[in-house]
């Protein structure tokens, strides 16, 4: 589960595959409480405000198929520990 103050990668399409872009790390400043309805009220999306000042989609959820598609991936906790050791 993605929460406020987590560090995340934003996923991007590479061809037809959705993969995290590991070149940039963002921090979630806030999670927006509203969910936007799309496609005849069957797909909802949850958004977050990131450290770059932009709103990005965390996930979309289809209430009919119960499918949840994530557009962010958490940065592993050890990524910060390893980086700090080299400075």
In this predicted structure, what is the pLDDT of residue 1?
Answer: 84
- Map out the domains of the chain as residue ranges: 7-85
In this predicted structure, what is the pLDDT of residue 37?
Answer: 74
In this predicted structure, what is the pLDDT of residue 42?
Answer: 84
15: left (phi over 0), alpha (psi -120 to 50) or beta: left
In this predicted structure, what is the pLDDT of residue 77?
Answer: 77
Q: Give SS3 for 79.
A: helix
pLDDT for 5-14, tens place per residue? 999 999 999 8
17-65-15 Cα angle (round to 5): 10
Q: Which two tokens stand for residue 29?
A: 């400043």
Spatial distance between the Cα atoms of 9 and 12, rounded to a whole number of angstroms: 9
Spatial distance between the Cα atoms of 38 and 76, rounded to a whole number of angstroms: 31
pLDDT for 31-75, tens place per residue? 997 666 766 788 888 999 999 999 999 999 888 899 999 999 999
In this predicted structure, what is the pLDDT of residue 71?
Answer: 95
pTM recorded for the entire structure: 0.78
Cα–Cα nearest to 27, from 83, 80, 84: 80
């Amino acid at each position: 589960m993605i929460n406020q103050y987590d560090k995340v990668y934003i996923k991007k399409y590479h061809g037809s595959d959705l993969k995290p872009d590991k070149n940039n790390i963002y921090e979630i400043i806030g999670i927006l409480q509203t969910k936007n309805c799309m496609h005849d009220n069957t797909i909802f999306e949850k958004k977050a405000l990131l450290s770059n000042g932009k709103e990005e989609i965390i996930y979309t959820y289809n209430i009919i198929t119960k499918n949840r598609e994530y557009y962010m991936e958490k940065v592993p906790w050890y990524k910060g520990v390893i980086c700090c050791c080299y400075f």
